Chain A
């Protein structure tokens, strides 16, 4: 189990969602899921504060998100569910690195802080807590 397994799970969610435009938050530039989406002609808006990727901040900048948002490092920022309403895939860990302001120690934490009201799936993949759901209703 590892990051590639996590990306496989994310890709399964994306394919099942049917969305053709997706916002990635904090994915960096070179994850397998980026390449797989490109191959599947799924359009990605890759939002990442790293200036080598994009330089936009999903929390502090005014961003028009796609209908599905995938958050790859929920532990590093304010809950996206307080800024966006819709379908989202949330991933976070509890490594508690120096820059982590929001350690994620359960799927319940992701659900609660992102105000998820409909859970499509939740699971733990290796060290990552993963929730796929919606906070609109």
Chain B
């Protein structure tokens, strides 16, 4: 099995890549697409980030659209892309070792958000229930999503700031996405900093991008207690 992650700019250091690799190396190999391989362990394959964004568009439109390039370039076998700011603290083997081929990539459904809010406000396009921090696909089953973006490139970049919103408002309603079962993933900053599921996400955008929300939100390297204990052991 092949795992991928992206590291660009200076938000996250190489320790994020190395610790992520130590979390998954029992299951497969990690490839890091990066603009700076300094400090990344030698067993991790490096791909030059400059070869990985064919879109001449501002980075803040469909942010992290580079992930969809993976669907186009890696069309064989079982593959997983991972965000750097996740903490694997449970058994991901039971998630990724399933004995059938996926017909659509598996994304995270944000079970921690009230479903009603997203659907009541669907027309306002302000909410989002899809998360692309841990995505698994087999062979070329993700290609239709990549091709959908290519087909609607101008409209999509005009409309959506983030990849997750593009996925939720376009690919989800067209049944192009599959989802992990409930209970496997949790959101540290939304679910009261609890240890839940097998993998915990550390998204902070709901706080940093919404001026009306004033609550603590931690990046993975800042989180105290059980998170710090597990992450620094890696």
Contact = CB atoms under 8 A, between A and B. Distances in A.
A34 to B, nearest CB: 14
Interface in A13-29: 26, 28
Interface stretch (B105-113, B153-161, B180-188): B153-161
B126 to A, nearest CB: 4
Nearest to A79: B158
Interface string A65-87: 00000000000111000000000
A57 B159 CA distance: 12
B124 interface: yes
Nearest to B209: A98
Interface in A32-73: 48-53, 55, 57, 59-60
- Say what secondary structure dominates the interface of chain B: helix
B152 interface: yes
B123 A50 contact: yes
B125 A99 contact: yes
- Say what secondary structure dominates the interface of chain A: loop
Contacts of A49: 122-123, 125, 169, 173
B210 interface: yes
A97 B119 contact: no
Contact of A101 (B152, B154, B160): B160
A102 interface: yes
B210 A101 contact: no
Given A49-B169, A60-B170, A102 B126 contact: no
Contact of B124 (A57, A78, A99): A99
Interface string B161-184: 100000001100100000000000
Contacts of A53: 123
B149 to A, nearest CB: 11
A95 to B, nearest CB: 11
Contacts of B161: 101
A59 B154 CA distance: 11
B210 to A, nearest CB: 7
A52 B123 CA distance: 10
Interface string B102-141: 0000000000000000010111111000000000000000
A48 B123 CA distance: 7
A26 B152 CA distance: 20
A59 B159 CA distance: 10
A76 B125 contact: yes
A57 B152 CA distance: 12
B35 to A, nearest CB: 28
B123 A26 contact: yes
B123 A28 contact: yes
Interface centre among A55, A59, A98, A99 (most CB of B within 10 A): A99
Contact of B155 (A28, A51, A52, A60): A60
Given A78-B155, A101-B159, A52 B119 contact: yes
16 contacts: A48-B123, A49-B125, A49-B173, A50-B123, A51-B173, A57-B169, A57-B173, A59-B155, A60-B152, A76-B125, A97-B126, A98-B124, A99-B126, A101-B160, A101-B161, A102-B158
Given A53-B123, A57-B170, 17 more contacts: A48-B123, A49-B123, A49-B125, A51-B119, A52-B122, A55-B173, A57-B169, A59-B159, A76-B123, A78-B154, A78-B159, A97-B124, A98-B126, A99-B126, A101-B158, A101-B159, A101-B161
Interface of B: 119, 121-126, 152, 154-156, 158-161, 169-170, 173, 210
